[in-house]
């Protein structure tokens, strides 16, 4: 007879992800094999392959799910429909860095030494989802005259915003200011530069970012 008071078992995919992430955070590396992971969960390899095709796919799907949750959260905000493209990207990046606090050890492990130009395989699905989200923001900006079409140059805008996300994460992982206040400032100034580049102005925001990154430097005569 089943024990009606027994706690319900989490779905298989969730159990696999939790075990994978526990090994990654505790040992500094993923599980050594699918067999070992299955053994720790008391499941069969057939069970595993019913959810994932490889070990690497576990982490890739987890990162993408994290991105999906953040996007759903910001898009469901009461003011989202009234936000400009610039403010939508700001809202997303602030939400991302807040959510990332729950997984900072994992980010440090994966991206602590990567730098903004480094593409890591585990983030492929996350960045693909972010690029889809970015394209929707760019379309919103073009429809409202906030972003200027510059022919072939416009095609690099989604890649530029992907670089913006990497830059924010790289900056945040090195930020030791109280409550990561410098990260918030970096987000504001970086978004200003990127959207001015895609709009009609760049000099003022570019100088402001340079002063922030290189304090004491005079950028104007």
Tens digit of pLDDT for each residue in 93-122?
A: 999 999 999 999 999 988 887 766 677 888
- pLDDT at position 51 is 96
Whether 82 and 45 share a structural domain: no
Question: What sign has the CA pseudo-torsion 127, 133, 134, 135?
Answer: positive
Whether 148 and 45 share a structural domain: no
Residue 64 lies in a domain: no
Residue 58 lies in a domain: no
Rounded to a whole number, what is the distance in angstroms from the first to the last CA of the chain? 83
Provide the whole-model pTM. Answer: 0.83
Distance CA 165, CA 126 (A): 11
Q: Which residue has the higher pLDDT, 221 or 5?
A: 5
Residue 65 lies in a domain: no
Whether 90 and 174 share a structural domain: yes
- From 47, 52, 70, 217, select the one nearest 133 (Cα to Cα): 70
Whether 82 and 145 share a structural domain: yes
pLDDT band, residue 160 (cuts 50/70/90): confident
Whether 152 and 44 share a structural domain: no
Mean pLDDT, the chain, rounded, equals: 86
Q: Residues of the chain with pLDDT > 90: what percent?
A: 67
By residue range, what is the domain housing residue 130?
A: 78-213
C-alpha 71: how far from chain center: 10
């Amino acid at each position: 007879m089943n024990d009606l008071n027994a706690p319900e078992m989490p779905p298989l995919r969730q159990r696999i992800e939790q075990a994978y992430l526990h090994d990654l955070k505790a040992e500094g590396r993923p599980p050594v094999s699918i067999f070992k992971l299955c053994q720790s969960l008391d499941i069969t390899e057939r069970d595993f392959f019913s959810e994932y095709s490889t070990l690497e796919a576990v982490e890739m799907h987890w990162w993408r799910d994290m991105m999906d949750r953040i996007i759903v959260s910001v898009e469901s905000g009461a003011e989202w429909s009234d936000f400009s493209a610039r403010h939508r990207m700001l809202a997303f990046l602030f939400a991302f860095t807040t959510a990332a606090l729950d997984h900072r050890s994992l980010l440090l492990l994966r991206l602590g030494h990567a730098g903004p130009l480094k593409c890591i395989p585990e983030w492929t699905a996350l960045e693909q989802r972010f690029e889809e989200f970015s394209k929707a923001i760019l379309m919103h900006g073009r429809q409202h005259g906030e972003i200027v079409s510059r022919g072939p140059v416009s095609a690099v805008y989604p890649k530029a915003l992907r670089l913006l996300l990497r830059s924010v994460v790289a900056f945040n992982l090195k930020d030791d200011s109280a409550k990561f206040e410098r990260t918030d400032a970096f987000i504001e100034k970086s978004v200003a530069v990127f959207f001015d580049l895609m709009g009609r102005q760049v000099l003022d925001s570019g100088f402001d970012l340079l002063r922030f990154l290189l304090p004491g430097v005079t950028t104007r005569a």
